[in-house]
Each structure stands twice: as structure tokens, then as C-alpha cells.
């Protein structure tokens, strides 16, 4: 994406929940089915809640083993992550991937 989207576009996106969009994409682009998140129908577990829309700030986490970096390096890495979360346009949605094998 070249830049932030307008408030109007965010409002239009907020009118749809993620399961609706995902299920529609599988109908119009069946080659995407099973590629990525899920192969089962996706549903909103709390449909009474309003959908959220924002810019994803991603990260990966592992807790199964202790960090190999020293305390200062771990602090720098953590602070860099917090800066990553705060940078760029908003609203921001944090998406964290757990890369442990358990």
C-alpha cells in the first residue's frame, strides 16, 4: 500500500466482518481455499461486537525456550517492537505469531 487509506474507506471496511470477507474471497477465488489461515468456514464468535479495522503491526514471539540475547539486547529488541507498534498510520491492530512448536 502506498499510504494511509481515507476515513471513508475505513468506515466502509468496518461495515464487514472478517469472516464475511474471508468466506466471500473463497467463493470468488477458490484457488485460495486452504492457502493460509483456515480450510473450514470462518465465523464470528461474537457477532454482537462491532468489527475493527486498522493497520496490522506484526511480530513473532517464542516463549518455549529462554532468549539467547543478554538483558540489554532483549530490552532493545522489545523497545524496537514497541516503536514498530506505534509507527505509521492508525488505527493499529497488533498481530503476534507464536512460533513455538507446541
Rounded CA separation 17/14 (Å): 7
Residue 20 in any domain: the answer is no
Peptide bond into 91 cis (omega under 30): yes
Residue 42 in any domain: the answer is no
> What pTM, to 2 d.p., does this model score?
0.66
Give the DSSP H or E segment for 36. none
As for how many domains the chain has, the answer is 1
Residue 98 in any domain: the answer is yes
| Dihedral-angle region of residue 34 (phi above 0 means left; psi in -120 to 50 means alpha; beta otherwise) | left
Residue 73 in any domain: the answer is yes
pLDDT computed for residue 43 by the predictor: 77
Residue 27 in any domain: the answer is no
Residue 34 in any domain: the answer is no
Which pLDDT tens digits describe the chain residue by residue (102 residues)? Answer: 567 889 899 999 899 888 888 778 878 888 877 665 566 667 778 889 888 899 999 989 888 988 899 999 999 999 999 998 888 888 999 989 999 987
Residue 100 in any domain: the answer is yes
Residue 17 in any domain: the answer is no
Amino acid at each position: 500500500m502506498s499510504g494511509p487509506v481515507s476515513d471513508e474507506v475505513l468506515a466502509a471496511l468496518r461495515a464487514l466482518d472478517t469472516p464475511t470477507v474471508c468466506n466471500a474471497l473463497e467463493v470468488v477465488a477458490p484457488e485460495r481455499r486452504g492457502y493460509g489461515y483456515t480450510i473450514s468456514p470462518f465465523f464470528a464468535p461474537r457477532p454482537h461486537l462491532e468489527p475493527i479495522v486498522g493497520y496490522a503491526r506484526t511480530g513473532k514471539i517464542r516463549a518455549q525456550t529462554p532468549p539467547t540475547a543478554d538483558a540489554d539486547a532483549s530490552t532493545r529488541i522489545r523497545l524496537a517492537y514497541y516503536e514498530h507498534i506505534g509507527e505509521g498510520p492508525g488505527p493499529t491492530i497488533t498481530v503476534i505469531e507464536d512460533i513455538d512448536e507446541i
